[in-house]
Chain A
């Protein structure tokens, strides 16, 4: 029973990681460049939800929208500073730029928000639900639901709407996309904005799940999102989701065996082992991208 409960915890955390990884994959797929400032985007999403909840009363929908918008705006800033100029330049330039951006955002957040831990306002009254003998909190169910709803709406957006088609076209081939009349710069910005927004919602969920937010929460979380994305094969959205879930479950199973201080190690060890044997990630895409 304990094992099953840990599995459930893992799934719940993993679904938050999955949401982040989906956003990350979106950014990498559309822009084609790595970002190291994703963890900070997640953190800023959580903080914008925090300030909105304190100003307008705590409501999970309002908080999620606030996180999405706040992180999306940061996404536009990141795009303007780190990507727009360097789309054709060597890749390490944009990479270093995002590292600089990550340091900038983290330290500015520490100055503006204060570096102490803040308690997230209680959005939902936590309740335990007995389900087939398992103890489940309603928080876990809501988090899972939010993640699933967002994933489905993203996949609908990508497959059914004009904007989604433009995003997919740009992610496949920028030159060909611009030849058929797509504004590549604006589309990459849109993709970056949506990816960052999803990260922001994930940050809100993280804040609700742990109950606290802190300006330095982004570093480790961003690394995990990146690992999940790499596990899934970088441009594969379902793969990234599965990668995120795997990392969440592995962490919680790892705690059962070793002490909880080692919690953050498991994801990376798993990543290194996977990359040792299949350097393309767990799911190799049939359609090759260059």
Chain B
């Protein structure tokens, strides 16, 4: 059985491009096959949260910093897009990019006090940042609309062609996710990505080998915030309505739950987590108050039995106790894994 799976894995790896192209084609055609608008909406949500979870995965999964305030970056991106879209008439692609850049600037600002911090200090600063952003959005009425929020965000359009159907949003979200994952894949395999991974595995060792940890941690925050901003901007266009309540800490924890379930530090993990969590959301829609309870049990259960997530390798450093037990057995394998396949 195991040999068969190995063989299949090798086959897929050898013909990676073909498989990816095939999968993309299927995904692109999907909304035109499915007629139900409700299911299309769920699919759009899955892709959107896939991007958002990937953005958090950049920070939490690849450089091992415990950022818990991703909702703050999303909020900045969404409000930037909302304000631009309601007051000016620029193309929505530009708005998405601009929102990402604004969020990235804030990501840099957050990274400044957190560079020297680790563990709880970092977590509490990011949490505090998220709340600062949300409360500012709630109270800065002239710009953000205050408690009323931003209403009537126009549908995006490309060259006069109005994009207002669920399948249009689906294709935009798909394009966003694919670009995000593609860029991430490239970045993780570059010098910067290797620096992040080395910081995650052992910061002191990375420093002693000449990795400028402050610089790379800062870049990490900026890059993660950039994609969170883009995802948030898409959120603004998709819901066409923004209020500060959409970015409470629970929203950040929701995204966190996705990467925990899917697997931190893997490319496919956040998407997998997004699919699972969004499916659960819809399954438990009849009992909406129990939904968060289910999330909570999911997070605790994952931590108890599979802390590296569904897609995570069992010899990953994130696996914690499980890996400690099998450490001796897998020692040789681990070394090969560490420099051969960077879990990208």
> Footprint of B on A, CB under 8 Å?
28, 34, 81-82, 85-86, 88-97, 99-104, 106-108, 110-111, 219-220, 223, 226-227, 230, 234, 259, 261-262, 264-265, 267-269, 271-272, 275-276, 279
Chain A residues closer than 8 Å to B257, beta-carbon distance: 100
Among listed B36-44, B189-197, B266-274, B313-321, interface-contacting one: B313-321
- The smallest C-beta distance from B266 to any residue of chain A, in angstroms, reads 16
A271 B125 Cβ-Cβ under 8 A? yes
Given contacts A99-B299, A265-B131, contact A91 B117 (CB under 8 A): no
Which B residues are within 8 Å of any A CB, using their own CB?
64, 66, 68, 112-114, 116-117, 119-121, 123-125, 127-129, 131-132, 135-136, 138-139, 249-250, 253, 256-257, 260, 289-290, 292-293, 295-300, 303-304, 307, 317-318, 320-321, 324
State how many angstroms separate the Cβ of A79 from the closest Cβ of chain B.
14
Q: What is the interface of chain A mostly: helix, strand, loop, or mixed? A: helix
A103 and B295 in contact (CB under 8 A), knowing A97-B303, A230-B120, A275-B113?
A: yes
Contact B307 A104 (CB under 8 A): no
Other-chain residue from A82, A86, A265, A279 in contact with B320 (beta carbon distance below 8 A): A86
**Contact (Cβ within 8 A) B127 A103:** no
The reply to whether B128 and A100 contact each other, CB–CB distance below 8 Å, is: no
Which residues of chain A have C-beta atoms less than 8 A from B303's C-beta?
86, 93-94, 96-97, 100
Residue numbers in B under 8 Å from A90 (CB-CB):
307, 317-318, 320
A-B Cβ contacts below 8 A, count? 129
Name the prevailing secondary structure of the B interface residues: helix
In the complex with contacts A104-B293, A264-B135, A85-B300 CB distance below 8 A: no
- A-side contacts of B116, CB under 8 Å: 279
What 13 new A-B contacts, CB under 8 Å, besides A93-B321, A227-B128?
Answer: A34-B123, A81-B300, A86-B303, A88-B324, A92-B318, A96-B260, A100-B303, A103-B253, A107-B292, A107-B293, A108-B293, A265-B136, A279-B117
Interface centre among B135, B257, B292, B303 (most CB of A within 10 A): B303
Q: Is the Cβ of A93 less than 8 Å from the Cβ of B307? A: yes
Given contacts A89-B321, A265-B131, A272-B113, contact A111 B125 (CB under 8 A): no
Task: Tell whether, in the assembled complex, residue B256 and residue A96 are in contact, meaning their CB atoms are under 8 Å apart.
Answer: yes
Q: B300 contacts which chain A residues (CB < 8 A)?
A: 81-82, 97, 100-101, 104
- Shortest 7 CB-CB distances between A and B: which pairs? A100-B299, A268-B128, A104-B296, A103-B296, A261-B139, A89-B320, A100-B300
Q: Are A86 and B321 in contact (CB under 8 A)?
A: yes
Is B321 touching A85 in the complex (CB atoms < 8 A)?
yes
Q: Which residues of A contact B131 (CB under 8 A)?
A: 220, 223, 264-265, 268
For the complex, give the distance between the alpha carbons of A271 and B114 in Å. 12
Given contacts A103-B250, A279-B116, contact A268 B132 (CB under 8 A): yes
Shortest Cβ gap from A81 to chain B (Å): 6
Q: How far is the CB of B57 from chain A (nearest CB, A)?
A: 13
Chain A residues whose C-beta falls within 8 Å of the C-beta of B119 in the assembled complex = 34, 91
Specify which of A104, A259, A276 is in contact with B139 (CB 8 Å cutoff): A259
Return chain B residues, CB-CB under 8 Å to A271: 124-125, 128
Cα of A103 to Cα of B248 in the assembled complex, Å: 13
Q: Which residues of the partner chain A approach B139 to less than 8 Å between Cβ atoms?
A: 259, 261-262
Task: Across the interface, name the chain A residue whose C-beta is closest to B318.
Answer: A90
B110 to nearest A CB, angstroms?
9
Asked if B128 and A223 sit within 8 Å, CB to CB, the answer is yes
Q: For residue B292, which residues in chain A have a CB less than 8 angstroms away from its CB?
A: 103, 106-107
Contact B129 A230 (CB under 8 A): no
With A and B bound together, what is the CA distance between A88 and B323 in angstroms? Answer: 12
CB distance from A100 to the nearest CB of B (A): 3
- Residues on the A chain within 8 Å of B120, using CB: 28, 34, 95, 226, 230, 234
- A residues in contact with B113, CB < 8 Å: 272, 275-276
- Supposing A271-B125, A272-B113, A275-B121 touch, asked if A92 and B66 sit within 8 A by C-beta, the answer is yes
Enumerate chain B residues within 8 angstroms of A88, measured Cβ to Cβ: 321, 324
Closest B residue to A258 by CB, please name it. B139
Do A85 and B304 form a contact, CB below 8 Å, given A100-B297, A262-B139, A275-B117? yes
Question: Which residues of the partner chain B approach A227 to less than 8 Å between Cβ atoms?
Answer: 124, 128
Cross-chain pairs A/B with CB under 8 angstroms, 7 sampled: A34-B120, A97-B299, A100-B297, A104-B300, A219-B249, A275-B113, A276-B113
Closest to A104 in B: B296
CB distance from B142 to the nearest CB of A (A): 13
| Shortest distance from the beta carbon of A35 to any chain B beta carbon, whole Å | 10
Expressed in whole angstroms, the Cα–Cα distance for A80 and B128 within the complex equals: 28
Interfacial chain B residues near A102, Cβ < 8 Å: 296
CB A28 to nearest CB in B, in angstroms, measures 8
Give CA–CA (A90, B321) in the complex, Å: 8
A107 contacts which of B64, B68, B256, B289 (Cβ < 8 Å)? B289
By a CB distance below 8 angstroms, the chain B residues around A264 are 131, 135
A82 to B, closest residue via Cβ: B300
Q: Chain B residues with Cβ under 8 A from A110's Cβ?
A: 289
A110, A269, A279: which has the most chain B beta carbons within 10 Å? A279
Contact B117 A95 (CB under 8 A): no
Closest beta carbon of chain A to B320's beta carbon, Å: 4
Chain B residues whose CB sits within 8 angstroms of the CB of A268 once the complex forms: 128-129, 131-132
Q: Once bound together, how far apart are the Cα atoms of A261 and B146, in whole Å?
A: 10
Q: Which of A89, A92, A103 contacts B324 (CB 8 A)?
A: A89
Q: What's the least CB distance linking A106 to chain B, in Å?
A: 8
Q: Most B CB atoms within 10 A — which of A103, A220, A234, A269?
A: A103
Instruction: Report if A99-B321 is in contact (Cβ < 8 Å); known contacts: A261-B139, A265-B136, A279-B121.
Output: no
Complex Cα distance, B250 from A275, in Å, reads: 25
Contact of A275 among B125, B132, B290, B318 (CB under 8 A): B125
